[in-house]
């Protein structure tokens, strides 16, 4: 470890840490990832990628492999209600939840990070952290002893029990667990013919295939709610039989675990030279399978901003914008996972009545169903600008109608993109100004920007994470000057 050095140290080699490290390396920042475990876990805590996460992968040219290997699921549940949320009508090229094991996700993201030059050191735990005005220093313990490493910044992607967060003195307020769910991965000798999702007064059970003849059985058992109880095969059989009427001949468990609904949210995502992302910033009941997805989106938001700060390209406030934009997302995450957990654990008569009411409301109100679907898919996220005079599109997702969208392709290099939609090259010298900043110009019009919100747009600058940074209307008196002014006003000087 004595020879290890980097501009940024990322702690944790899960999907969040690996994606962040790859984003930093893509921008030319030397990055070191420290991971306490010697090997990747054989267990996939997460089993799915939601639409916005697949869009994130598409922006870097990785989505095709994931989609080719995964299984698209056109609808998904909210709190295990019988009325499933239809993803097929969502405004995205990926209108589905992609069933994809976390183990494979980590394998591919680690390969990408290494290919981009990231150094990943396993079997080394961060046991302490200090910082000053110019650097952050971590104490690292491994088989070769204890040493210290310094970098410009340290990012904690080390899970809900984050050592980085604790050592930095960042508060993690919230609530302790009041309910416990279970996960068992087993062989089923008499498997169901389809995915099982059942909820009744006896509890809740979901059973789905995970490959290799094995199934994941997960849910809520009201008869086993002691915090210290370990999950046994007998207990898994019992709850499955009570809810579904059979245990499907389950045997040979490879993973038995329980989890609580403790919900906590970091008071800040940045404290000087220490930042947090993923579960280190927010822990919650794993309802809806959104945790990994929100964490990767944290990393996508942070990567380009942190790179600009490290390389001296960021103007004041750009890096602080990470907390400003993602902290509200964490708050919304806590709210809707708590709400889903309340629905999943609602086994009393009044709880069942609430579930029935919500089921019928969702089934009879398409707008409500779409709102919940967009929330799970993370397609509802916008980053409102601080300037009330900003164009209405600023902070919204750049639309893409097809997987091979020009917008996705233009973002593969991790730099912003200037979209010239004027149809007659009216942006003129703006393309030259953009090029001088390292921003490519792509001329349209594009089919994916044909919606009503874009009908009068003459040009738009898209951030590296796929959100609109600036926009100029086509009827601007001097489109060229307006675009150049927009380029000058960006919170970074070059890319």
Range 59-76 average pLDDT: 96
Range 416-435 average pLDDT: 86
- Tell which wins on pLDDT, 182 or 4: 182
- Which pLDDT belongs to residue 314? 97
**Does residue 3 have a pLDDT over 70?**
no
Model confidence band, residue 477 (pLDDT cutoffs 50, 70, 90):
confident
- Which pLDDT belongs to residue 448? 65
**Does residue 356 have a pLDDT over 80?**
yes
- Full-model pTM: 0.96
Instruction: Indicate the range of 112-116, 174-178, 308-312, 420-424 predicted with least confidence.
Output: 420-424
- Which pLDDT belongs to residue 171? 98
Instruction: Indicate the range of 67-71, 152-156, 399-403 predicted with least confidence.
Output: 399-403
- Which pLDDT belongs to residue 186? 96
Model confidence band, residue 30 (pLDDT cutoffs 50, 70, 90):
very high
Percentage of the chain beyond pLDDT 90 is: 85
- CATH class (in words) of the domain with range 406-488: alpha beta
CATH (residue range 8-47+101-174+264-343): 3.50.50.60
Model confidence band, residue 427 (pLDDT cutoffs 50, 70, 90):
confident
Instruction: Indicate the range of 183-192, 246-255, 449-458 predicted with least confidence.
Output: 449-458
Of the CATH numbers 3.30.160.60, 3.40.640.10, 3.30.200.20, 3.30.70.2450, which one belongs to the domain with range 180-260?
3.30.70.2450
- Which pLDDT belongs to residue 447? 59
**Does residue 193 have a pLDDT over 90?**
no
The three state secondary structure string of the chain is: CCCCCCCEEEECCCHHHHHHHHHHHHCCCCEEEEECCCCCCCCCCCCEECHHHHHHHHHCCCHHHHHHHCEEECEECCCCCCCCEECCCCCCCCCCEEECCHHHHHHHHHHHHHHCCCEEEECCEEEEEEECCCCEEEEEEECCEEEEEEECEEEECCCCCCHHHHHHCCCCCEECCCCEEEEEEEEECCCCCCCEEEEECCEEEEEEEEECCEEEEEEECCCCCCCCCCCCHHHHHHHHHHHHCCCCCEEEEEEEEEEECCEEECCCCEECCEEECHHHCEECCCHHHCHHHHHHHHHHHHHHHHHHHHCCCECCCCCHHHHHHHHHHHHHHHHHHHHHHHHHCCCCHHHHHHHHHHHHHHHHCHHHHHHHHHHHHCCCCCCCCCCCCCCCCCCCECCCCCCCCHHHHHCCCCCCEEEECCCCCCCCHHHHHHHHCCCEEEECCCHHHCCHHHCCEEEEEECCCCEEEEEEECCCCCHHHHHHHHHHCCCECCC
Domain boundaries, the chain: 8-47+101-174+264-343, 180-260, 406-488
Model confidence band, residue 354 (pLDDT cutoffs 50, 70, 90):
very high
């Amino acid at each position: 470890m004595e020879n290890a050095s980097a501009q940024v140290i990322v702690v944790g080699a899960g999907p969040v840490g690996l994606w962040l490290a790859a984003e930093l390396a893509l921008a030319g920042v030397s990055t070191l990832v420290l991971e306490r475990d010697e090997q990747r876990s054989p267990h996939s805590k997460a089993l799915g990628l939601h639409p916005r996460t697949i869009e994130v992968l598409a922006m870097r040219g990785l989505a095709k492999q994931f989609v080719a290997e995964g299984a698209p699921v056109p609808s998904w549940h909210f709190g295990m209600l019988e009325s499933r949320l239809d993803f097929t009508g969502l405004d995205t090229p990926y209108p589905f939840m992609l069933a994809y094991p976390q183990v494979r996700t980590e394998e591919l993201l680690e390969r990408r990070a290494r290919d981009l030059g990231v150094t990943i050191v396993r079997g080394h735990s961060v046991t302490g952290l200090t910082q000053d005005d110019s650097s952050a220093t971590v104490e690292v313990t491994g088989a070769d002893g204890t040493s210290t490493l310094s970098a410009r910044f340290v990012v904690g992607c080390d899970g809900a029990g984050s050592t980085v967060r604790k050592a930095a003195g960042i508060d993690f307020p919230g609530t302790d667990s009041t309910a416990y769910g279970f996960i068992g991965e087993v062989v089923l000798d008499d498997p169901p013919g389809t995915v099982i999702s059942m909820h009744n007064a006896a509890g809740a059970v979901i059973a789905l295939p995970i490959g290799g003849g094995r199934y994941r059985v997960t849910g809520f058992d009201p008869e086993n709610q002691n915090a210290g109880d370990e999950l046994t095969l007998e207990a898994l059989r019992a709850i499955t039989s009570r809810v579904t009427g059979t245990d499907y001949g389950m045997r040979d468990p490879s993973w038995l675990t329980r989890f609580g609904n403790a919900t906590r949210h970091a008071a800040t995502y940045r404290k000087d030279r220490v930042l947090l992302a993923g579960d280190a910033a927010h822990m919650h009941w794993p309802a809806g399978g959104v945790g990994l997805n929100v964490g990767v989106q944290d990393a996508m938001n942070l990567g380009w901003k942190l790179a600009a700060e490290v390389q001296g390209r960021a103007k004041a406030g750009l890096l602080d914008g990470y907390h400003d934009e993602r902290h509200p997302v964490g708050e919304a995450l806590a709210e809707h996972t708590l709400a889903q957990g309340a629905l999943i654990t609602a086994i009393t008569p009044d709880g069942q009545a609430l579930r029935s009411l919500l089921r019928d409301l969702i089934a009879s109100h398409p707008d409500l169903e779409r709102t919940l679907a967009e929330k799970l898919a993370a397609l509802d996220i916008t980053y409102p600008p601080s300037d009330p005079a900003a164009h209405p599109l600023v902070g919204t997702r750049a639309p893409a109608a097809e997987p091979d969208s020009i917008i996705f392709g233009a973002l593969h290099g991790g730099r912003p993109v200037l979209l010239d939609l004027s149809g007659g090259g009216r942006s003129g010298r703006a393309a030259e100004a953009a090029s001088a900043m390292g921003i490519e110009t792509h001329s349209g019009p594009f089919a994916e920007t044909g919606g009503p919100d874009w009908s009068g747009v003459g040009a738009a600058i898209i951030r590296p994470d796929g959100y609109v940074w600036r926009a100029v209307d086509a009827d601007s008196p001097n489109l060229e000057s307006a675009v150049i002014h927009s380029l000058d006003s960006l919170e970074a000087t070059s890319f």
